[in-house]
Amino acid sequence: MSGNLLKNPDGKDGLDYWQLTKNGGDEWRVEDMPRDCRHDNKLISKFFCTSYALCLKTQVIDLLAEGYDPGNLDIAQPAVNVEDWYCCRGDCGCIYKITVSLLDENKKVIAEFKPKKVTLNPDYDDCSWRKMSHTFTDYGPGLRFISFEHGGRDTKFWKGWFGVRVTGSSVTVDL
């Protein structure tokens, strides 16, 4: 029960395990890591990329199905760690969004991480990968599911896949 609870966090399996909640423009796509913008984690060789209209994808983690005991989750309220990596292309700006929600057995929100959208401009920002992270603590009893949604779009509405790139997503539970 340790390690990353997200399946296919870097696109090695295409779009498998992800629900495409918004699939705008030319839709989601998986690409190989470009030579000019390598990720620090050398094991990551692919990424998901978005188009000119909003693209969001979601995975919902069922903690009981993953082997977590409801009593332990309620008493310990373990830290839930979230990590996501994003970047833009060198020729087009992008918008990045992420929402991670801790959910009860009825999938009602207990706690939520939803920072303001991030806009990257290639005139000021290089294509280096940036990390978004958050740790949930002291959220109360009832945690049964975790919803992880991320994505974005480009800022110039160019046809093709010029939007935000995401990869290396991670959700871990410290129990």
> Could you tell me if residue 29 is inside a domain?
yes
Q: What is the pLDDT of residue 97?
A: 98
> Could you tell me if residue 12 is inside a domain?
no
> Could you tell me if residue 26 is inside a domain?
yes
> Could you tell me if residue 107 is inside a domain?
yes
Q: What is the pLDDT of residue 66?
A: 96
In angstroms, what CA-CA distances link 95 with 102, 125, 155?
24, 12, 7
Q: What is the pLDDT of residue 91?
A: 87
**Gap between the Cα atoms of 97 and 30, Å rounded:** 18
> Could you tell me if residue 13 is inside a domain?
no
Q: What is the pLDDT of residue 126?
A: 77
State residue 10 phi and psi, 5-degree precision. -130, 10
- Please state the domain count of the chain: 1
Local structure of 134: helix, strand or coil: strand
> Could you tell me if residue 4 is inside a domain?
no
> Could you tell me if residue 10 is inside a domain?
no
- Please tell me the pTM assigned to this model: 0.94
Q: What is the pLDDT of residue 39?
A: 65
Is-contact 166 84, C-beta < 8 A? yes
> Could you tell me if residue 92 is inside a domain?
yes
Give the structural domain span for 38: 19-174
The tens-digit pLDDT sequence of the chain (175 residues) is 569 999 999 999 999 999 999 887 778 999 888 766 666 666 778 999 999 999 999 999 999 999 999 999 999 999 999 999 999 888 888 999 999 999 999 999 999 999 999 999 888 877 789 999 999 999 999 999 999 999 999 998 888 888 899 999 999 999 8
Q: Tokens standing for 83?
A: 């990590």
Neighbouring CB atoms inside 10 A of 62's CB total 12
CATH code of the domain containing 40:
2.60.120.260
**Gap between the Cα atoms of 170 and 153, Å rounded:** 21
